[in-house]
Amino acid sequence: MAKKVIIVGGVAGGASAAARLRRLDESAEIIMFEKDEYISFANCGLPYYVGGSIKERNKLLVQTPEAMNARFMTDVRNNSEVTSIDFEKKEVSIASKAKGHYKETYDYLILSPGAKAMKPNIQGINNDKILMLRNIPDTDRMKEYVDGGEVKSAIVIGGGFIGVEVAENLVERGISVLLVEAAAHILAPFDSDMVVIAEKEIMDSGVQLIREDGVKKFADKEGKVEVTLNSDRKFLADMVVLAIGVVPETEFLRESGLKLGPKGHIIVNERLETNKPDVYATGDAIEIIDFVTGLKTAIPLAGPANKQGRIAADNVAGLNSRFYGSQGTAIIKVFGLTAAATGANEKSLMRADISYKTITIHPSSHATYYPGSIPMTLKLIFNEEGKVLGAQGIGYDGVDKRIDIIATVIRMKGTITDLTELELSYAPPFSSAKDPVNMAGFVAQNVLEGRSHMITWEEVNKMNQEEYVLVDVRSEEEYANGHVENAINIPVDHLRERITELGKLSDGKKIVEYCQVGLRGYIADRILTQHGFQVYNITGGYKTEVAQRLGSVMQAKNSISERGTLGYITVDSDTQIVSNKPKADTYDKELDASGLCCPGPLMQVKASLTDMMDGQILKVEASDPGFYEDIKAWCKRTNNELVDLSKTQSLIIAYIKKGRQGGNHLDSADSYAMMGQNKDNKTMVVFSGDLDKAIASFIIANGAASMGKKVTMFFTFWGLTILRKPKKVRTPKDFLGTMFGLMLPRGSKKLKLSRMSMMGMGGKMIRGLMKSKNVLSLEELIQSAMKDGVEIVACQMSMDLMGFKKEELIDGVKIGGVGYYLSEAEDANVNLFI
């Protein structure tokens, strides 16, 4: 006999169950009750419809009752709420808008009522300007309100995934947003050392953020909503969005005898069976097992809900499918950033009393020599046996696939050795030969196998300062740009020659050392350990310290964030009005530097300012994410004023007021002389004639020149080939000179890559890619460097040896000896050998 199956709830879990069941059993009678009008809609897309990224409302409606019936022969009864269930009689009671109250019996029942937004009993909460976002009617209301143009400001309560997505989308609509979070940090799946990166992005993008403060009450004031926080601070805005979490929608089951957990979640076994015969449950409403910790939990996400719908249908149809728990793999777009996490985090492991280790790395999204590569922060959590327990990633590109790979390894109960062995797809635009996931495995493996002695900044902070010496193993330049207090600087490449000095300094104490991201720190660890020191390399290096310092600064302020360093909230005597500082909108000249990679935008800014008068304002638009921090540092160093800095989804917009006397960005002899006194110049020995190294050296030179630095590039041996004219110049040569002349590339266009030359194809590919990514070509970089006053010096001695003559080199090249170079190097604080 055909089964009669009733499904309660018509969205993620319920609709999945109905479709799967029909595919398995053509004869079953399937009735799906949905209390609202819409079924199978895209909950996850709702914030983006409000924000305008999803333009058409009907794109949110994945299925209609009619379409569901036509394809899956499902009797969809929308606007029909199941009000109670008699499990003995196998009967549900329905309150239908169209049919009134009636009952329906079942052979099998699948419950997928989901979870609804929490609405605590706070004074003034029933205000029609306080909105929530769960379904299509909620979305229509919010969209209509925002579209009306009346909403200039909003307070979003709750910094979970939905709160952050709503905040971002309201900013997209030009609304000033204050985000209030009761916990120490937003986005609970991330540990505090990671989430501060996302918090900074949110603030940089114009959202004001208050943490560790909850709502005490709401009130109607001047046609707006006044929100009083527990700290008694008051804020006024046109609209409030409540997104403080969800609770299972199971009130109608409370008296039914169905077993519920302490927070109202339906208790199920691995087959998703409840304690009542032939009754299954799925989705946000059920309690599940945390796949990593084994503890009971609830994870309201679409992926698990959809899979559970399928599993429940399988079991109703007579198959034997199981759900083994959820690992909470989740991802969110935070303005330009991607933040993703899988498995356990430190908080959940501590709660479960499971010991663990962590490493943090900052690998690049793809090969650094291919344009557009951006570092990401990747944290891996594993246990003593090497089993991978969790991972978190935050960055601008490539985070999603790394977290998904690690999620897969966790699901397969894999180890860090598995991460090292994974063979992942690679070509320069997509990854590196050692993918970030492999790198995380290598670093973790070195830790577990005792080759690397990792320590976290938290652990260092707990150590007695008398017990150790803190060594910064980065370059002198990096150290000069910022370092941790009390750290002494010994660059990793000088460690061996300064071993005795370090021995005396440490006097038997432990060495705690760090580099920028942890990699050079590992090499330092290996060198020093083999010289008998007790060494600890700080995981994640200086970059992690900066992120954590940022976290604690934000924590210490515990107040409204500024928009970058520029935003504010207007304050009256009692209540603060949520509004951003008006954005700068007057300017004298506009520069579109979008599409250019670093240092292109800075070079263009410098060039644009040169023609402007003191006090005039330049508006710059750039798409390179690094420009946000670069331009702050650049303006500071060049004495130009950064009037305003903001981010949109894809652009960074800066307003720069040309400083008095033109700042120090002009490459005047005076400013160079002054910098010389400060030993601020940069020198480079370019020894290599490889295309990639030539590009790198000129990118650095242009970057430094745009910062107003005097740059001297000293070309020697194979490096001279970069400077050769493309056309043959007849000059008298001896035998060796003729041989060198014939065998070496004639000029920059003939250079090959140091690796992956592929019979010259590699070089052509890189040039093509640079063009497509709007990165200046090597020839343009050379011209730009010369125009900006970079001194190009050919080594006299190498020219003599190789038989090159001045006429064979491009115009503007100086010929100099080692003495000239050394005297320039005397006045430099950066000296590179390329």
Q: How many CB atoms lie within 10 A of CB 203?
A: 20
Could you give the CA distance from residue 269 to residue 556 in angstroms, rounded to a whole number?
45
Closest listed residue to residue 776, CA positions, set 589, 628, 601: 601
Nearest to ligand FAD of 166, 447 (CB atom)? 166
Find the angle CA(295)-CA(299)-CA(301) to the nearest 5 degrees: 155
76 binds ligand FAD (CB under 6 A): no
Q: Is the dihedral of CA 638, 644, 648, 653 positive or negative?
A: negative
Task: Report in angstroms how near the CB of residue 16 gets to ligand FAD at its nearest.
Answer: 8
300 binds ligand FAD (CB under 6 A): yes
303 binds ligand FAD (CB under 6 A): yes
Judged by CB under 6 A, the stretch of 12-20, 118-126, 497-505, 704-712 that binds ligand FAD is: 12-20
Task: Report in angstroms how near the CB of residue 487 gets to ligand FAD at its nearest.
Answer: 42
Residue recorded with tokens 């909470």: 328
CA distances to 113, 258, 273, 283 from 312, rounded to whole Å, are 14, 17, 8, 10
Task: Report in angstroms how near the CB of residue 548 gets to ligand FAD at its nearest.
Answer: 28
Q: DSSP strand E in 693-790: where?
A: 711-715
397 binds ligand FAD (CB under 6 A): no
46 binds ligand FAD (CB under 6 A): yes
Q: Can you tell me which of 114, 436, 441, 662 binds ligand FAD, judged by CB under 6 A? A: 114
Task: Report in angstroms how near the CB of residue 268 gets to ligand FAD at its nearest.
Answer: 12
Q: What residues are annotated to the active site?
A: 44
Task: Report in angstroms how near the CB of residue 37 gets to ligand FAD at its nearest.
Answer: 10
249 binds ligand FAD (CB under 6 A): yes
Residue 238 is classified by DSSP as: S
Q: How many CB atoms lie within 10 A of CB 347?
A: 13
818 binds ligand FAD (CB under 6 A): no
Burial zone of 301 (CB within 10 Å; 0-12 exposed, 13-18 middle, 19+ buried): middle
Nearest to ligand FAD of 241, 785 (CB atom)? 241
11 binds ligand FAD (CB under 6 A): yes
Nearest to ligand FAD of 34, 630 (CB atom)? 34
Strands 130-131 and 108-111, sheet pairing = unpaired
Q: Can you tell me which of 6, 30, 76, 82 binds ligand FAD, judged by CB under 6 A? A: 82
Site string for ligand FAD, 674-713 (x = CB under 6 A): ----------------------------------------
Nearest to ligand FAD of 401, 724 (CB atom)? 401
Task: Report in angstroms how near the CB of residue 140 gets to ligand FAD at its nearest.
Answer: 13
- Please tell me whether residue 234 adopts helix, strand or coil conformation: strand
Query: How would DSSP label each residue in 143-169?
Result: HHHHHTT---EEEEE--SHHHHHHHHH
74 binds ligand FAD (CB under 6 A): no
Of residues 130-189, which lie at the interface with ligand FAD (CB under 6 A)?
133-134, 162
Residues binding ligand FAD: what is the number (CB under 6 A)?
33
Name the CA dihedral angle for 538, 543, 545, 549, rounded to a multiple of 10 degrees: -170
Site string for ligand FAD, 16-45 (x = CB under 6 A): -----------------xxxx------xx-
Q: Can you tell me which of 20, 28, 63, 112 binds ligand FAD, judged by CB under 6 A? A: 112
Find the angle CA(832)-CA(833)-CA(834) to the nearest 5 degrees: 110
CA distances to 341, 356, 368, 799, 802 from 740, rounded to whole Å, are 55, 59, 32, 11, 6
With contact defined as beta carbons under 8 Å apart, do 91 and 85 qualify?
A: yes
- According to DSSP, the residues that pair with 393 across neighbouring strands are 340, 378
Task: Report in angstroms how near the CB of residue 55 gets to ligand FAD at its nearest.
Answer: 17
60 binds ligand FAD (CB under 6 A): no
Judged by CB under 6 A, the stretch of 108-116, 482-490, 698-706, 799-807 that binds ligand FAD is: 108-116
Q: Which residue is nearest to ligand FAD (CB)?
A: 283
Name the CA dihedral angle for 346, 351, 355, 361, rounded to a multiple of 10 degrees: 0
Show the 3-state SS of 572-590: CCCEEECCCCCCCCCCCEE
Closest listed residue to residue 49, CA positions, set 170, 197, 220: 170
Task: Report in angstroms how near the CB of residue 138 gets to ligand FAD at its nearest.
Answer: 8
Q: Can you tell me which of 159, 283, 328, 625 binds ligand FAD, judged by CB under 6 A? A: 283
Q: Could you list the residues that contact ligand FAD (CB under 6 A)?
A: 8-14, 33-36, 43-44, 46-47, 81-82, 112-114, 133-134, 162, 249, 252, 283-285, 300-303, 305
